[in-house]
Amino acid sequence: MANWIDISQPLSPQIAHWPGDTPFQYQLTASIEETKSVNIGNIHTSLHIGTHIDAPYHFSATGKTVGQLSIEPYIGRAVVIDVSDTETINAQVLAAMDWSKSTKRVLLHTSLENEPNRFPVKLPYLDPNIAPFLQAKGVQLLGVDMPSVDAPDSKDLATHHALAAHGIYILENVMLDRVPVGEYELIALPLSIQGADASPVRAVIRPLKKGGMGNDR
């Protein structure tokens, strides 16, 4: 059986965070020396740190929160697609790609280099017109190797809204630089944080042999 590949950004004090947002911090609040039995730590950070999912509530006051989302889109057959040769990713670009009709999750390897400790100044452009295209293909989740599906300075978040309007879940900041294109099994489960706008995830994939999973996943 193929080994799982970790495509999530490791959380550490060095990991980049959104400008103005809360950086990641882990601290030991009680040591074995103090408790005589265990180490106990805590974390303080933004929910949008590292590899994470966005719930619709992040960009819509009436959108679903993390705890209201189905877990099904975060588990199952996924395809890694290389779009690193363009700075504009639209429906026409994706239409030129080929993937199985049963694949409901798409992971885009863009031209952005995976550098977890540096927040990028500029991102490749994801055109909102990818949303109806992906929906027509039966896609339920879009993952990107960028901190956002919209530009860092965007206020209308057009691509976030378009994806949500077409029933497509959002996974951001996956690490795909060293991942070959092809089909995989994906697990990228969010924490069940009630009322939350986002959640960090541990995203992992493993290569699929043809016919390795049923079409319903």
**Given a cut of 70, is residue 217 above it in pLDDT?**
no
Q: What are the pLDDT digits (tens) for 163-204? A: 999 999 999 999 999 999 999 999 999 999 999 999 999 999
Is residue 109 one of the residues assigned to a domain?
yes
Q: What dihedral angle (degrees, nearest 10) is formed by the CA atoms of 51, 200, 22, 123?
A: 30
Q: What are the pLDDT digits (tens) for 119-173? A: 999 999 999 999 999 999 999 999 999 999 999 999 999 999 999 999 999 999 9
Is residue 138 one of the residues assigned to a domain?
yes
- Check: CB of residue 89 under 8 Å from CB of residue 127: yes
Q: Which domain holds residue 154?
A: 5-207
Number of domains in the chain: 1
Separation between Cα atoms, residue 128 and residue 130, nearest integer Å: 5
The pLDDT mean for the chain works out to 95
Separation between Cα atoms, residue 128 and residue 157, nearest integer Å: 9
Q: For the domain that residue 101 is a member of, what is the CATH number? A: 3.50.30.50
Beta bridge partners of 142: 106, 170
Q: Which residues are catalytic?
A: 58
Q: Structure pTM?
A: 0.94
Is residue 149 one of the residues assigned to a domain?
yes
What is the per-residue pLDDT for 118?
A: 96
Give the confidence band of 1 by pLDDT, cuts at 50, 70, 90.
low
Is residue 159 one of the residues assigned to a domain?
yes
Is residue 212 one of the residues assigned to a domain?
no
What is the per-residue pLDDT for 216?
A: 47
Is residue 214 one of the residues assigned to a domain?
no
Separation between Cα atoms, residue 150 and residue 157, nearest integer Å: 6
Backbone angles phi, psi at 206, to 5 degrees: -145, 145
Q: What percent of the chain has pLDDT over 90?
A: 92
Between these two residues, 213 and 130, which has the higher pLDDT value? 130
Pairing of strands 141-144, 125-126: unpaired
Q: What percent of the chain has pLDDT over 70?
A: 95
Is residue 20 one of the residues assigned to a domain?
yes
What is the per-residue pLDDT for 100?
A: 84
Is residue 213 one of the residues assigned to a domain?
no
